[in-house]
Amino acid sequence: MISSLIRAEIRRLMMGTNYSQSNLQDEFDEFSGFVTSFSSLQEPRFYAQAAKHLEWINAMKAEIQALESNKTWDITSLPEGKKAIGCRWVYKLKLKPDGTIDRYKARLVAISYNQVEGVDFIESFSPVAKAVKVRPMLAVAASEGWYIHQLNVNNAFLHGYLDEEIYMDTPEGYPVPLGHVCKLQKSFYGLKQASRQWNHEFTTKMELFGFKQSKNDYCLFTKLTSASFVALLVYVDDILIAGPSESHISEVKSYLDSLFTIKDLGTTKYFLGLEIARAPEGLALTQSKYIKDILQDMGLQTAKPTTTPLPAGIKFSAQADSALPHLAIYRQLIRRLLYLSFTRPDLSHATQQLMQILQTPCKQHWDAIVHLVRYLKGTPQKGLFFPSGTPLNLKAYCDANWASCMDTRRSLTGYCILGPALIS
């Protein structure tokens, strides 16, 4: 963000051709002042850098205050035979949509690489909502005319309780007596078990409120009574709530806010990178912003769009030409295209073909990815549409290519359709 601002300022200052020596010096001095004014806006890597700027100092004080209010730790001397894990500050500039600074964020995290399994943690696995569950939930909500709301739990990982006895070094800038450490009373950012403890705490509280946890997806909770039905899908600290009654959804929100403190985002419009637009006819699911980000990162904003995901008749080969020098870029693009396929089934076949050669992609594969991204350039608003008021009959289809995969003898393609809506 800073470098782009500086580049823009350079262009502004150097436009025009008739510069006298004095004018040029004045412009140079102005630019030097501009760069100096932005030095404090860079995200510090270390405490010593942050401690020189009031904005970051205030951000660290706010973080410490929140941790103390949450009763995250007790200050005590380190018992004999115990070891304390480290901690560090992480700094992040939160930006507004126009690129200006919204706020300075400082987060204290534990350094967990020296946590010992069996001593500092027993288990670390935590379930995450499967993407395939989001589409059915939205399809049913659209068909039945349900309300769909979204919320975020503030400082989610700090709400879990620890089963282990863990000591942590005190953070830099936090005055305590010499030889004292933080004895963690609650889960903490960076701990290997942090996500698991939050999920356990959340599950316990939802079950006490009458929700049942799905046996197929541990992040899906439902509550059915004679008067209402509410479905709740959790992705770490982001929560999607759907049901026929807005008042019952509000009851769930109030309950969660009394336990954890939430940020109520109201009617769902943007969830995990998915753009959700609602109309009487149904619900549209797109990822146009995600496409715009891909185009910008690849420098293809002004590229000519293609009309197909891949060139007609293309056949891939690992030995087609020289290997790509930067495999990480290719693999990152494949990951982004896979996520984009969430709302773009027209990309699935092309992405599947391109991801089969992740170890040794060559120029042929790179050219094909560029072709695919140029196809996105011409179709940014394409997505899924879940109509309202339609019967919810489930149908499944698989390909009829006689199990062309010689290794597994399985069909490679299949679709599940709920009513008229593609859900998987």
**CA-CA distance, 157 to 109, in Å (whole number)?**
11
| Residue 5 CA: distances (Å) to CA of 33, 68, 147, 411 | 14, 37, 41, 51
pLDDT at site 249: 96
- What's the CATH code, domain 131-160+196-284? 3.30.310
* CA-closest candidate to residue 260, choices 156, 188, 186: 156
pLDDT at site 261: 86
Sequence ranges of the domains in the chain: 2-40, 47-126+163-184, 131-160+196-284, 287-380, 391-424
**CA-CA distance, 314 to 412, in Å (whole number)?**
19
pTM of the shown model: 0.75
pLDDT at site 408: 61
- Cβ atoms of residues 344 and 287 within 8 Å: yes
With 0-12 / 13-18 / 19 or more C-beta atoms within 10 angstroms meaning exposed / middle / buried, residue 357 is middle
Q: Which secondary-structure segment (H or E) carries 90?
A: strand 84-95
pLDDT at site 349: 86
Per-residue pLDDT of the chain (424 residues; tens, 9 = 90+): 444 444 444 344 344 444 444 554 554 454 444 444 444 467 999 999 999 999 999 999 999 998 998 899 999 999 998 899 999 999 998 877 566 788 899 999 999 887 777 667 777 777 777 767 889 999 999 999 999 999 999 888 899 899 889 999 999 999 888 889 999 999 999 898 888 999 999 999 999 999 999 998 889 999 999 888 999 999 988 999 999 999 999 999 999 999 998 999 999 998 888 899 999 999 999 999 899 999 999 899 999 999 999 988 887 776 656 777 778 888 999 999 999 998 998 998 888 888 887 888 888 888 899 999 999 999 999 999 999 988 888 888 877 666 555 556 666 677 788 888 888 7
pLDDT at site 407: 57
Q: Token digits for 416? A: 């599940």
| Residue 283 CA: distances (Å) to CA of 9, 345, 387 | 42, 17, 6
